[in-house]
Amino acid sequence: MKIIEIQDTKQSPSVYCNAEKGLLKLSGRSLPEDSEMFYSSIIDWVHEFEQSPYHKLDVQLRLDYFNTASAKNLYTLVGLVDKLKANEANDISLKWFYEKDDDTMMDLGKEFSDLYPNLVELVEDE
C-alpha cells in the first residue's frame, strides 16, 4: 500500500497514512476549498487497508478546527474505521485529541464517541 504524506496548510490538515506502521494521522485545521477531493485519497486509502493483509491501525485525529464540509468527510472516515474494527481479526483504535481548554473540539469528539462508543477514545492534550 502506498504511504500518504500531506503537509498542513492554513486550510488543510497534515495527513500521514502508513499501513506497514499501522498509522493514520490527521492534524491541524480542516477547511479545504474542495473537502471531497482532499479527503477522497484518505477514504480510498482506508478502503484499500480493508483489503490489505494488515490488521493493526491506530487512527489519531488532532484537529484544531473543521468546517461542515470536512465534518461530513470525517463522519465517513470514522464510519469506515468503525467497520474495520467490527472485524475481530483487526486491532483498530481511534484517538480524538483535543486541547485542555478547547471545549468545542472536546464536544465534537464526544459526538463522535457517542456515535461510535466502541471506537473513539477522547484524549486531552496538555
CA atoms within 13 A on the CB side of 26: 26
pLDDT in tens, 2-22: 999 999 999 999 999 999 999
Does the structure show a pLDDT above 90 at 51?
Answer: yes
CA atoms within 13 A on the CB side of 7: 1
**Helix residue spans in the chain (DSSP H):** 35-51, 68-86, 103-115
- CATH topology for the 4-125 domain: Transcription Regulator spoIIAA (3.30.750)
44 Cβ contact list (under 8 Å, min separation 6): none
Q: Quick one: pLDDT at residue 79?
A: 97
Over range 54-72, report the average pLDDT.
96
C-beta of residue 31 within 8 angstroms of C-beta of residue 66: yes
Short-list 58, 67, 47, 70, CA closest to 95:
58
Burial class (CB in 10 A: 0-12, 13-18, 19+), 74: buried
pTM value? 0.95
pLDDT in tens, 71-126: 999 999 999 999 999 998 899 999 999 999 999 999 999 999 999 999 999 999 97
Q: Quick one: pLDDT at residue 126?
A: 73
Q: Quick one: pLDDT at residue 117?
A: 94
pLDDT in tens, 31-49: 999 999 999 999 999 999 9
Would you list the domain boundaries of the chain? Answer: 4-125
